[in-house]
Amino acid sequence: MDAAASSLGSAAEKPADTLPFVIAGGGPVGLSLALGLAAQGYAVCLVDPTKPQQNLSASFDGRMLALSSSSIQLFEQLGVWPALRSVATPIEHIHVSQKGFLGLTLIHAEEMGVEALGYALRAADLGRILWQAVLATPSIRGYYGARVVEAHEQTNHLEVVLATSDTTETETLPARLLIGADGTNSKVRELMSVAFEQTNYQAWAFLAQATSRQPHNGWAYERFTPQGPVALLPIGSHDHKLVYVVPEADKALVENFDDDAFLAAFYAQMGVRMGGFERISARLAYPLTEGRAQQVLKSRMLLMGNACHTQHPVAAQGLNLGLRDVSDFLAISSTGAPSNSDLVAYEEQRLADHQQVMRLTDGLIRVFQHPSPLVGHLRGFGLMVLQALPPLKKRLAAFASRGRSVN
| DSSP-assigned letters across all residues of 299-321 | TTEEE-GGGTEE--GGGS-HHHH
Report the alpha-carbon distance of residue 352 to residue 281 in Å, rounded. Answer: 38
pLDDT the model gives residue 263: 97
**What residues form DSSP beta bridges with 119?**
67, 90
Q: Which residues of the chain, if any, have pLDDT below 50?
A: 3-15, 54-62, 370, 372, 374-379, 381, 384-385, 388-389, 404-407
Reference 177, options 29, 305, 33, 78; nearest CA is 33
| Fold type of domain 21-89+120-198+289-367 | FAD/NAD(P)-binding domain (3.50.50)
pLDDT digits (tens, 9 = 90+) for 154-202: 988 999 999 987 777 899 999 999 999 999 999 999 999 999 988 888 8
Global pTM value: 0.86
pLDDT the model gives residue 97: 83
pLDDT digits (tens, 9 = 90+) for 260-318: 999 999 999 999 999 999 999 999 998 888 888 989 999 899 999 999 998 766 556 77
Report the alpha-carbon distance of residue 242 to residue 62 in Å, rounded. Answer: 7
pLDDT the model gives residue 329: 97
92 touches 116 (CB < 8 A): yes
Please give the CATH architecture assigned to the domain spanning 199-287.
Answer: 2-Layer Sandwich (3.30)
211 touches 239 (CB < 8 A): yes
The ranges assigned to domains in the chain are 21-89+120-198+289-367, 199-287
